[in-house]
Amino acid sequence: MPFLDVLLGKPLPTSEERGEQIGAAAGIPIFGLDALSSAAYGPEAALTLLIPLGAVGVATIVPISASIIVLLAIVSLSYRQTIAAYPGGGGSYTVASENLGRYPGLLAAAALMIDYVLTAAVGISAGVGSLVSAAPSLQPHTLAICLGILALITVVNLRGVREAGFVFMIPTYLFVGTLLTTIVVGIVKVALAGGHPVPVVPPPSPVPATTAVASVWLLLQVFSNGCTAMTGVEAVSNGVRAFREPTVKTAQRTLTVIIGLLALLLAGIAYLVRAYAIAATPPEQAGYQSVLSMLVAAVTGRGWFYDVTIGSILVILSLSANTAFADFPRLCRAVALKRFLPHAFAFRGRRLVYTEGILVLAVLTAALLILFGGVTDRLIPLFAIGAFLAFTLSQAGMVAHWRRVGGRGAARSMAINGLGAVVTGLTTLVVLVAKFAAGAWVSALLIIAMIGAMLWVKRHYDQVAREMHSETPLALTALDRPLVVVPIQDWGKTAANALEFALTLSPDVTAVHVAAEDDQGRLQAQWPRMVDAPAKRAGLEPPKLVVLPSPYRLVVLPIVDYVLQVEAANRGRRVAVIVPELVEQHWYHYPLHNKRAEILKWWLLLRGNPRIVLVNVPWYLKT
Amino acid sequence: MPFLDVLLGKPLPTSEERGEQIGAAAGIPIFGLDALSSAAYGPEAALTLLIPLGAVGVATIVPISASIIVLLAIVSLSYRQTIAAYPGGGGSYTVASENLGRYPGLLAAAALMIDYVLTAAVGISAGVGSLVSAAPSLQPHTLAICLGILALITVVNLRGVREAGFVFMIPTYLFVGTLLTTIVVGIVKVALAGGHPVPVVPPPSPVPATTAVASVWLLLQVFSNGCTAMTGVEAVSNGVRAFREPTVKTAQRTLTVIIGLLALLLAGIAYLVRAYAIAATPPEQAGYQSVLSMLVAAVTGRGWFYDVTIGSILVILSLSANTAFADFPRLCRAVALKRFLPHAFAFRGRRLVYTEGILVLAVLTAALLILFGGVTDRLIPLFAIGAFLAFTLSQAGMVAHWRRVGGRGAARSMAINGLGAVVTGLTTLVVLVAKFAAGAWVSALLIIAMIGAMLWVKRHYDQVAREMHSETPLALTALDRPLVVVPIQDWGKTAANALEFALTLSPDVTAVHVAAEDDQGRLQAQWPRMVDAPAKRAGLEPPKLVVLPSPYRLVVLPIVDYVLQVEAANRGRRVAVIVPELVEQHWYHYPLHNKRAEILKWWLLLRGNPRIVLVNVPWYLKT
């Protein structure tokens, strides 16, 4: 299939696994896109809630960002330890299920799976949303652009981990580079202006000075909105196996760089927003402009640098879905290896990636995008809850891990992970309470449903394994040759071929013929010359011809009924049904031939029993 | 499948065919809906083109309608003769192909098929369009309503001819009854008022008196627009087999009643439109009102009678698609019997209707409706051309028929059909010229493409028949037992079952095992105890175990390659591949098990040859 080779690259043998592993430079775009891109929406989500507070609100962003950065540092330290402890991949599922037990593990898995699907959909639609607001003529094509980007991300991921790293490297570094430049330039300008810089392009409306005081409830809401900036932090620990030797060090370095960059971006944005007094504008109103757009314009004006920066933000947002594509298949593999998901998720495809997981994520994401017409704002409240639940379970699992492992340094490690567990646990509660009515309850229900489904899959696999298991040797007592039934519609080469093969299998061959509405008895008339005579000459028992009536014009069911009768009348002997099958070499011939052979196979399997065996004798057209 | 029984009714045996046949009362709604409902849009289509001529235009409708009625009478007489000559169903395809040859027949078939699909889509969307303009709050659901009506018509037709007649009887007779009542009341009022009646509700704008003169080109356009009222006239002759004894007389009576009613409606509408001076209003402009709505309001006012009449028009328009559902499957059957379409079109399903044709028409109609969002105005110019082309070919075919048959009355019959052929031929030319730029060229291209496709189908079937044909008796020379290959992944009950069956077929059995990434050699270790020892005890040659490497982690392709090698190394012997297959009893277990058995069968059939035979040994889960 050369088309697949072009689209996805040539198949890679398992022995090339090492060549597909990556370093930190490729790891940052692959596992950090989600975390880094959240700098583009986390502060904005927090500032939007602060609009009513005017200048007080703008100032509040600094302590809020500071607390998020502290949280980030704690979580990051925790995850460094997880990477060291689980070099084979320490996703929240693995850590929670190995240390806390089956149900916490499944809870983490379900929460993360739902989180990834939502992240992928929301990421793409957020990027396309910004693009569309920059170029309104694209508005009618929102969904098509979303699906196009999804297709691109899917294909790149199916091509393998290394290629994905290279493709996403340029936009990632462009985004980080331009934003950091803006921050440095901004800080210098603030310092030169003695703390009161003059914006190159002032924000559209000045911030009203109010004397309002933020309520605790509002601050909690602002904090939990800001916490969306933290989703994606667990990605590296989940994908340790993708990094090259020394695996643990490379993964840890990648995580540190990602978190460091994210913290710098968050801190710089918060500082400049306050210095330039930039309040968010209400979304879904005329004149809306994103906080980053106002900030970059205030610092550098609206020249080419503005265009490049804003352009890279659009690109990075729509590609942030890629982190979900890197992690979701790995998570599904880990769960499938424990038999809680179909086996197919554990197989590596032609390019050494977990094809099934990538495809399932692509289909689910596409379904969400289509369902919401490419505008998934309403899904945003649903997804932070899954990420924080997984954080908490992972950290708590690590605490149990250190307790079990013990030894030197275990107490210190336990303290770090314990701190992480407590702060992320509290954050989970805050997010759950703050967002419950807004949609977090949907996430909760979905998580419960997913856990139920995974338990059901496991139970089914266990049952099948018990039934199939056998330590008994072959029992070769009933080696009678089978009774053979050959359905024949007309005399011709396929019928002759099937009968010839039948006679090599057994001396007991019966041909069955279903009489059509206008049957002329032609086959019966031909039988003595075509079959009886040659069989007798070869010294064989001639196959009998049985004609079946068909009052309902059906062809398949009378044959199935006849086979079941034969089997019932000859208990203990196997019945082999020979199905002559015309093989179409061209797909466009498919609708031209009836599917009776397939329908017959299907019915016989469905209504049959282990003593009824199907034999396909193919027939190939020369043309 | 009790659900199907509820939806479609219990299967009918072939012997109940007579009970499914219908009389004239049911035949009129089934085969006349299309023709009769065209009274609702034919005059309107003509009057719309006459708007610029004001009062002169309104008066012109009378001669135009008169000429259409004359044409209708001629065509009707012609078709009465066709019915008598072809009591087995004398659709244009049958008549043209039997009398004029293969290509005129295919031309008629292609033209009619395209016509039917367009009629079905345009009919439904016209009815829903009127409904939506009466109740604008339904506007956003246009497509959903269209598809709902399509589903209703499809199910009713799948339930059988008799039920379809009963379902459509009430709306048809309500439509004809209310419209005839309006006409009678109108004519009486005109007579009482001495030719100058006072409208109960006057038309929205008075007709301007102009002195314009209609150009010949405009009159031709008006005539061809009005001719859309004639589509559907051939329906009865195509479906003669659906009528009960005396078949020919019943069908002829049905045709006469349909044409008579249609002529009465057209004449009455034309007369009253002129008497009440009702000009069409420009469509797609504010204040648009249909001609029939203005006419009924002018004659009877806007009381309950108005509501019932307009309601019945909406219903009848959306159900007019039913004629296409009655005829398209019969046409496809006739073509499929001559092998120009897939055989499946010729089979009668559980309710003695041609299920495949009904389903294909439903899918094509749904595709058109979805493509055009339920508003198919742009398709209208495409469909009269197909109908008139078919009329012409049918009449011309009848001329050839009488010439061949000869005898008493042949000359008279030939004259009638000849007249029909000439006038419909001329009309075809007029419609083609008048509508060519507006879209008739699309019809022409589609007709050519359909003819190409039908010729291709026929050629393929002929080739297959030639290849499969055999008058040679069985050749029983090579009766060697086959080489048997059994793929085994792990030792278990399915593997044991497959091997036991393999040993009943042949002494030459080989098991193949594909080594997985982390294969531990467990199966090889078990082999002597599980297989070798019992086989030797039973006095059989023990099956060999062949282990295949799999550098690309594939399971199926190494087996396929091995089987092809074995076959190549043993030319002349058959190779039977035993595929143990787990049969899922529940559809929801389907995604839980790998599809290797099916993929293996598929690859072996695709890359194999007639000497490679597949044996499915099923395994059933008890749970």
B241, with CB counted inside 10 A (0-12, 13-18, 19+), is middle
Closest-CA residue to A576 (of A612, A617, A618, A616): A612
pLDDT digits over A199-213, tens only? Answer: 888 887 777 777 677
Q: Own/partner pairs for A526-533, CB < 8 Å, 24+ apart? A: A526/A491, A529/B473, A530/A491, A530/A496, A530/B472, A530/B473, A530/B474, A531/A499, A531/B473, A531/B474, A533/B473
A613–B618 CB contact, under 8 Å: yes
For residue A384, pLDDT over 70 is answered with yes
Residues β-bridged to residue B243: B22
pLDDT digits over B380-395, tens only? Answer: 767 778 888 888 999 8
Q: Which residue of B has its CA nearest to A496?
A: B474
Window B:7-46, CB contacts with A under 8 Å = 11-15
Among candidates B475, B492, B609 on the partner chain, residue whose Cβ is nearest the Cβ of A470: B492
- What number is the average pLDDT over the span B477-481? 79
Which residues from A are below 8 Å from B501, CB to CB? 482, 574, 613
Window B:462-501, CB contacts with A under 8 Å = 463-464, 467-476, 479-482, 491-494, 496-497, 499-501
CB B236 within 8 A of CB B29: no
- Angstrom CA distances, A497 to B86, B330, B505, stand at 42, 36, 18
pLDDT digits over B260-319, tens only? Answer: 999 999 999 999 999 998 888 876 666 778 888 889 999 998 889 998 998 888 888 888
A551–B616 CB contact, under 8 Å: no
B605 touches chain A (CB under 8 A): yes
- What number is the average pLDDT over the span B202-231? 79
pLDDT digits over B237-252, tens only? Answer: 888 888 888 889 999 9
Cβ contacts below 8 Å, chain A against chain B, sum to 220
Local confidence band at A194 (pLDDT 50, 70, 90 cut-offs): confident
- What number is the average pLDDT over the span A427-434? 84
Q: Which residues contact B504 (CB under 8 A, 6 or more apart)?
A: A479, A480, A481, A482, A574
- Angstrom CA distances, B163 to B19, B325, B386, stand at 11, 13, 29
CA B320 to chain centre: 14
Local confidence band at A16 (pLDDT 50, 70, 90 cut-offs): low
CB A351 within 8 A of CB A160: yes
Give the span between the Cα atoms of A431 and A452, in whole angstroms.
Answer: 24
Mean pLDDT of chain A: 85
Which residues from B are below 8 Å from A590, CB to CB? none
Angle between helices A410-435 and A380-405 (to 10 degrees): 160
- What number is the average pLDDT over the span B213-220? 81
Window A:552-571, CB contacts with B under 8 Å = 552-553
Distance from CA of A509 to the nearest CA of B (A): 14
A613–B501 CB contact, under 8 Å: yes
pLDDT at residue B595, as a whole number? 72
pLDDT at residue B352, as a whole number? 65
Strands of the sheet containing B483-487, edge to edge, are: A544-548, A509-514, A483-487, A575-583, A612-620, B612-620, B575-583, B483-487, B509-514, B544-548
pLDDT digits over B120-148, tens only? Answer: 888 888 888 877 777 777 777 888 888 99
B499–A474 CB contact, under 8 Å: yes
For residue B1, pLDDT over 60 is answered with no
Share of chain B above pLDDT 70, in %: 92
B602 touches chain A (CB under 8 A): no
Test mutation, A616, A620, A622, chain B, max B CBs within 10 A? A616
- What number is the average pLDDT over the span A266-277? 92
Distance from CA of A133 to the nearest CA of B (A): 26
Window B:450-469, CB contacts with A under 8 Å = 457, 460-461, 463-464, 467-469
Q: What angle do CA B316, B317, B321 make, to 5 degrees?
A: 100
Q: Which residue of B has its CA nearest to A535?
A: B476
Local confidence band at B419 (pLDDT 50, 70, 90 cut-offs): confident
pLDDT digits over B72-92, tens only? Answer: 898 888 888 889 888 887 788
For residue B540, pLDDT over 60 is answered with yes
For residue A1, pLDDT over 60 is answered with no
CB A543 within 8 A of CB A509: yes
CB B79 within 8 A of CB B255: yes
Distance from CA of B581 to the nearest CA of A (A): 9
Q: Which residues of B548-579 are buried (b: 16+ CB within 10 A; e: fewer)?
A: eebebbbbbbbbbebbbebbeeeeebbbbbbb
pLDDT digits over A451-460, tens only? Answer: 999 999 999 8
Test mutation, A479, A484, A504, chain B, max B CBs within 10 A? A504
Distance from CA of B556 to the nearest CA of A (A): 13
pLDDT digits over A460-508, tens only? Answer: 889 888 888 888 888 877 778 899 999 988 888 888 888 988 988 888 9
A537–B619 CB contact, under 8 Å: no
pLDDT at residue A623, as a whole number? 59
pLDDT at residue B343, as a whole number? 84
User: In 10 A of CB B173, how many CB atoms?
Assistant: 14
Choice among A226-230, B106-110, B390-394, B505-509 with the minimum mean pLDDT: A226-230
Which segments of B471-555 does DSSP mark as H helices, in order?
493-505, 522-527, 533-537
A612 touches chain B (CB under 8 A): yes
pLDDT at residue B288, as a whole number? 74
Which residues from B are below 8 Å from A481, CB to CB? 504-505
pLDDT at residue B350, as a whole number? 67
For residue B376, pLDDT over 80 is answered with no
Structure tokens at B147: 């598809």
Distance from CA of B585 to the nearest CA of A (A): 7
Among candidates A500, A504, A618 on the partner chain, residue whose Cβ is nearest the Cβ of B605: A618
Closest-CA residue to A83 (of A248, A246, A242): A248
Which residues from A are below 8 Å from B552, CB to CB? 11-14, 350
Phi/psi of residue A86, each to 5°? Answer: -125, 70
B542 touches chain A (CB under 8 A): no
pLDDT digits over A60-79, tens only? Answer: 889 999 999 998 998 888 88
Which residues from A are below 8 Å from B494, CB to CB? 468
What ipTM describes this predicted complex?
A: 0.71
Place of tokens 């000859």: A570
Distance from CA of B341 to the nearest CA of A (A): 8
pLDDT at residue B299, as a whole number? 92
